[in-house]
């Protein structure tokens, strides 16, 4: 049996030294192949269409088209998985990247081993960002809308994110750039996601669409339990232990949840759980 083909990676960053450094780190691994480099978001989108990479490592601050806009187009067209790379540990970047469809978020000062494992994880369909980190970002978004602190009991399900934006300054921009702005079937349960060189901002969170609302009604009781625990940041092993299930069964339930709700990965499931009011901030 022949070895599987290597994961194809596209690098998008306006700094040549950064691209070269990432290429050197990744290229020494036989299971990873760097297929191209882009110096801005527009070129990243064009090369992704042309080269069909599995993973795009995407900078945020780039000229012509920023990394958030490029990510949104790449994911919307189903071209590749995207890992957002940035020098800034900022919640607004993080949520904007998740809202655009990124499968992960990594700081540029991460260790080389973390970069390699990030590519492998996302390339094989796993979410890179820990769900508890996603929860932190969403809780802050709710807090910004309600005027309360994250986890405050006054935040209710009626405060689902509708048009929340943030434009906190993150400090100095690069010279010449603008600053960035997984069973056994159970009985069904009843019914009860353009070019710009300007600051990337947090896109308005959208109400759940009709397909996802319908999918929520198709979830079994067990699948709802699994979704609830997944959205609270529990791993498959933790869910299995809590519900007295095998990990393989949990994986099946997670996969069923994602399929029925038309969700891409576990990160989107966390976002969905908040948008649908299944979990309130601070729970």
Q: Give DSSP secondary structure letters for the chain.
A: -PPPPPEEEEEE-S-HHHHHHHHHHHHTSTTEEEEEEESSHHHHHHHHHHH--SEEEEESS-SSS-HHHHHHHHHHTT--EEEEEES---HHHHHHHHHHT-SEEEETTS-HHHHHHHHHHHHTT---S-HHHHHHHHHHHHHHHHTS-TT-TT--GGG--SS-------SPPPTTS---------PBPPP------S---PPPPPPP-HHHHHHHHH-BHHHHHHHHHHHTT--HHHHHHHHT--HHHHHHHHHHHHHHTT--SHHHHHHHHHHTTSS-TT-
Q: How far is CA 84 from CA 57, 88, 105, 156, in A?
A: 6, 11, 5, 31
Q: How far apart are CA 66 and CA 194, in angstroms?
A: 10
Q: How far is CA 269 from CA 143, 212, 237, 247, 278, in A?
A: 20, 11, 17, 18, 11
Question: What is the pTM (predicted TM-score) of this model?
Answer: 0.63
Cβ atoms of 133 and 265 closer than 8 Å = no
The tens place of each residue's pLDDT in the chain, 283 residues long, gives: 445 789 999 999 999 999 999 999 999 999 999 999 999 999 999 999 999 999 999 999 999 999 999 999 999 999 999 999 887 767 677 778 878 888 888 888 888 998 998 899 888 877 776 666 666 666 665 665 555 444 443 322 222 222 222 223 333 333 333 333 343 334 333 333 333 333 443 333 344 566 677 788 899 999 999 999 888 878 888 899 999 999 999 999 999 999 999 887 777 787 788 778 787 655 5
Structure tokens belonging to residue 85: 């790379």
Structure tokens belonging to residue 129: 């960002």
Q: How far apart are CA 127 and CA 266, in angstroms?
A: 6
The residue with tokens 């353009």 is: 194
Q: List the beta bridge partners of residue 55.
A: 9, 81
């Amino acid at each position: 049996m022949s070895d599987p083909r290597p994961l194809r990676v596209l690098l998008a960053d306006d700094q040549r030294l950064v691209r070269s450094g990432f290429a050197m780190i990744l290229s020494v691994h036989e299971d990873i192949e760097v297929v191209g480099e882009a110096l801005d978001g527009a070129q990243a989108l064009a090369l992704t269409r042309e080269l069909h990479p599995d993973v795009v490592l995407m900078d945020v601050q780039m000229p012509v088209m920023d990394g958030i806009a490029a990510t949104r187009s790449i994911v919307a067209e189903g071209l590749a998985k995207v890992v957002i790379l940035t020098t800034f540990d900022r919640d607004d970047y993080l949520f904007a990247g998740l809202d655009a469809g990124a499968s992960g978020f990594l700081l540029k000062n991460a260790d080389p081993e973390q970069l390699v494992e990030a590519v492998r994880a996302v390339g094989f369909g796993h979410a890179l960002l820990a769900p508890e980190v996603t929860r932190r970002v969403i809780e802050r978004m709710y807090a910004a809308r309600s005027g309360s602190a994250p986890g405050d009991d006054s935040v209710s399900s009626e405060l689902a994110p509708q048009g929340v934006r943030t434009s906190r300054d993150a400090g100095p921009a690069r010279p010449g750039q603008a600053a960035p702005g997984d069973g056994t079937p159970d009985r069904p349960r009843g019914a009860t996601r353009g070019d710009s060189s300007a600051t990337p901002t947090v896109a308005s969170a959208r109400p759940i669409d009709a397909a996802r609302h319908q999918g929520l009604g198709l979830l079994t009781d067990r699948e709802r339990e699994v979704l609830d625990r997944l959205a609270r940041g529990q791993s498959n092993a933790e869910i299995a232990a809590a519900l007295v299930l095998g990990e393989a069964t949990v994986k099946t339930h997670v996969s069923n949840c994602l399929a029925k709700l038309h969700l891409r990965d576990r990160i989107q499931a966390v976002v969905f759980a908040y948008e649908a009011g299944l979990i309130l901030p601070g729970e």
